[in-house]
Amino acid sequence: MEHKKTVLTFAFLFLTYAHLGAVEVKEIKPSQAVKAKAQESDQQIGDFSLSGFGDKGKKSWDLAGQSADIFSEVVKLKKVVGNNYGQNDTINLTADKGDFNKKSGLVHLQDNVVITTSSGSKLTTDTLDWDRKQQIISTLDKVNLARQDMNLSGQGAQGQTALKQIMLEKDVRLDIQALDAQANKKEKIVITCDGPLDVDYEKNIAIFNNNVKVEKPDLTIYSDKMQVYFTPKQQDQATAQGPAAISSSVNKIVALGNVRILRGENISYSQEAIYTAIDKKITLTGKPQIIIYQTENSDATSGN
């Protein structure tokens, strides 16, 4: 069993606060926000610093604030900086303000919240709850997640602190600068849906739900549900860092339920469609119908 200890370091502006003690971490719902009681703080201090270590003495996380107001249950911080040190990835969290619950260990960040990972992801939002024990983040606010040539946005999110897996609740939009293998150039792909959206960067898949629409330069796809598979980058196993292995290149799109595809003036209908990017081939199953519009020119002449 892994044993953890917590170290508190303070630079005091006024009197010492002797009752802060060690922090006990308990399981809580990641969506639960921490709120301080409407009262004056027991103490005000500067340069608040809090760290956690693993059983081998390796630092696993830290949390710091430019200043802190200490209440009986909550420490309210300004200019918050937090770090989570994983095996393959380091996560940095910053915010203008934050609350640290001394009993539960939950951190609530507010205003200009930014998460960055060493593998290249950047998440921005207005508020965020960080459960360090379960390594879960959550918010009800609008989220923007940028990663290489992909930009993802939506309302409400929950996922892993390292951003390897994330779920967006509604109003989802994904903008991709995807590599067109045939033309050897990038093309813009926009995917929207009502939500939810589940993204697994380790498995290189994103699952869109409800009123899904894909817009590419050569076609538009509508469906109830859609699975988008990305081509993983080739990396040496010794240097691979989980979600960094995903690329912006779309490998395959599987559209499910009430599928409608517009390609030029032609329209096709089916219950399932599979689009493969390498050959730009579409396979329709489930009562497929294709409507083809042709323009005919008549050169016939009549004689008397």
Assess whether pLDDT exceeds 70 at residue 157. yes
Q: What is the mean pLDDT of residues 285-301?
A: 71
164-207, pLDDT tens digit by residue? Answer: 899 999 999 999 987 665 666 788 999 999 999 999 988 899 99
pLDDT of residue 110: 96
Q: Where are the domains of the chain?
A: 1-27+42-132, 135-296
Task: Please check whether the domain covering 135-296 is classified as CATH 3.50.50.60.
Answer: no
The pTM of the full predicted model, rounded to 2 decimals, is 0.76
> What is the torsional sign of CA 83, 88, 89, 90?
positive
Assess whether pLDDT exceeds 60 at residue 116. yes
Contact assessment for residue 68 and residue 76, using Cβ atoms and an 8 Å cutoff:
yes
Domain boundaries 1-27+42-132, corresponding CATH code: 2.60.450.10
* Structural tokens at position 55: 């059983």
- Fold equal for 1-27+42-132 and 135-296: yes
Q: What is the mean pLDDT of residues 239-243?
A: 43
Alpha helices by DSSP H, the chain: none
51-89, pLDDT tens digit by residue? Answer: 888 777 788 889 999 998 888 889 999 999 999 887 778
pLDDT of residue 190: 96
Helices (H) and strands (E) in the chain, counts: 0, 18
Assess whether pLDDT exceeds 70 at residue 282. yes
pLDDT of residue 234: 57
Cβ neighbour number for residue 225 with a 10 Å cutoff: 18
Single out the residue of 17, 38, 87, 26 nearest to residue 58, CA to CA: 87
- Could you tell me which residues come within 8 angstroms of residue 239 by beta carbon, excluding any fewer than 6 positions away? none
- Could you tell me which residues come within 8 angstroms of residue 206 by beta carbon, excluding any fewer than 6 positions away? 174, 191, 197, 198, 199, 200, 227, 228, 230
- Could you tell me which residues come within 8 angstroms of residue 57 by beta carbon, excluding any fewer than 6 positions away? none
